[in-house]
Chains A and B, each alone.
Chain A
């Protein structure tokens, strides 16, 4: 049992645990709960105004008022973002991880480079791609014009959102890749050797040997990208600022909190809606993954 003494000494782990707990409750969990409460009030971002409970009014005005079609569009865009990012990012990352796991020459350098965008951060990455995607003098435009194609990139209603998705995947692919690699490295090599001698095909080997073993990293990656994609707004803020059909739920929360009307109840309600959507997908994803892990 607890090997570090008895009596009052037994309390030390509790005391130390209290620090993160307190920080968490004060700065995170507490405000989260308060947000739920605010979502039922008409609180304004103006000191000294009175606060009343308004029931579901904020939710009604979000989902069933003049501009709620835009809310639905934001929700739809969030889901699209989530699906595309989760599938492509993890698909590419898994492929790259499997490839790098074959001990290619210089594999460590490649890994380091693919992870680099995570280190650079959103502000820097967005600026880099704004420069690459400059519609007049950017290199990508020059490349396009070879094929006689033109685009306005982050200023295009039809493509801006996809370019943002591209940047998001470019940025976080390395992160998913590392998690897959960590999983792959836990697969003993002799398992493959055995499989190879048996004459199993590569794909069969992957399906029956590798995949079950990396299933946990798969779960982690899925959850991280679902949650991450649903909560991303900084990249949108830094590239299009929500213009050109690129608003998502997460962006709307930020926008309504700090730049919309002075109403605080509305963004609070929006936060709660966002939470509900994330919750649904996380629960579904976890269920799916669990089944898979059991299956093998």
Chain B
């Protein structure tokens, strides 16, 4: 399709303005993270002259990130894998009509998006578990992972839409060959859904990795805190030392950015189809 020059110019200027809005803050934080505190106080905006790489080791130490990092990897890894799996368990039979009352169940699950905020009673529930099933109650890692795992949220909705676009013939053929249901799900359906799974992975990982409210509510032992607690540690104590805080920001953000770089191709290549189709 041909475009007029003026439209082209307009398009590029819009993109340019947005790029500035989106990139400058990130570069600014990155720049600050290398400054010494004194340099920052004297000249907060200038481009860094003397790189203080030691800021990062200092921040890593003061934020106790090494303790929290492992927890975050654990929470994010498990809740993501579980969410993908059980979303598949929920979405597949509903999309295919393999269970009765699929439509009703679908509606019931979708309601999770706007049911009354369960915060008050979730807290009570976790306390109840603490007394009766302590391994999954308040201040337990398993309890927190279970809270962050959901087979009924946005990932489920996207899956349903996407599965509908996969041909049914596959099911029939596999069934004919004697392939069982669960094997079909894991070995045939799952690989076919790669783009939508990539989206599901990044969305779930974001929600868990960056969760800073949940841990305050449900995890009280420092041994269980995730990486966002490290960030809080800065805010309380070194809130004014922006260079170190900027290091903390970078440390927390970096792992997800790496993950994102690897799988963003799938996401931008129309993986959100599912959301639209459902």
Partner-B contacts on A (CB < 8 A) = 2-5, 9, 12-14, 16-17, 19-21, 23-24, 26-32, 34-36, 38, 47, 95-96, 99-100, 102, 104, 108, 110-124, 127-129, 131-132, 134, 137-139, 142, 170, 178-179, 181-183, 185-186, 189, 192-193, 196, 202, 216-217, 220, 223, 227, 231, 234, 237-238, 250, 253-254, 257-258, 264, 267-268, 271-272, 274-275, 278-279, 282
Contacts and interface: CB of A to CB of B under 8 A. Distances in A.
B60 interface: no
B112 A28 contact: yes
A161 to B, nearest CB: 20
Interface in B124-170: 124-125, 127, 146-147, 149-152, 156
A129 B228 CA distance: 17
B15 A9 contact: no
16 contacts: A5-B175, A23-B146, A24-B150, A31-B125, A35-B118, A35-B119, A117-B22, A119-B256, A120-B210, A121-B252, A123-B228, A137-B40, A253-B119, A268-B121, A275-B115, A282-B114
B260 A182 contact: no
Contacts of B70: none
A257 B275 CA distance: 33
Interface residues of B, number: 99
Contacts of A238: 212
A179 B29 contact: no
Contacts of A5: 175, 180-181
Given A120-B253, A234-B213, A254-B119, 18 more contacts: A4-B175, A17-B94, A31-B125, A32-B115, A96-B14, A102-B1, A112-B264, A119-B253, A123-B212, A131-B245, A134-B44, A139-B45, A182-B270, A183-B276, A231-B117, A254-B213, A267-B119, A272-B116
Contact of B11 (A104, A127, A223): A104
A108 B268 contact: yes
Contact of A28 (B3, B21, B115): B115
Contact of B181 (A4, A28, A223): A4
Contacts of B253: 119-121, 124
A112 B260 CA distance: 9
B268 A178 contact: yes
B152 A20 contact: yes
Nearest to A185: B270
Interface of B: 1-3, 7, 11-12, 14-15, 18-19, 21-26, 28-29, 32, 40-41, 44-45, 86-87, 89-90, 92-94, 98-99, 105, 108-109, 111-125, 127, 146-147, 149-152, 156, 171-172, 174-176, 179-182, 184-185, 202, 206, 209-210, 212-213, 216-217, 228, 231, 235, 242, 245-246, 249, 252-253, 256-257, 260, 264, 267-268, 270-273, 275-277
A202 B6 CA distance: 13
Contacts of B28: 131-132, 139
A146 to B, nearest CB: 12
Contact of B118 (A31, A47, A99, A193): A31
Contacts of B228: 123
Contacts of A220: 275-276
A67 B208 CA distance: 36
Contacts of A119: 202, 206, 253, 256-257, 260
A23 B116 contact: no
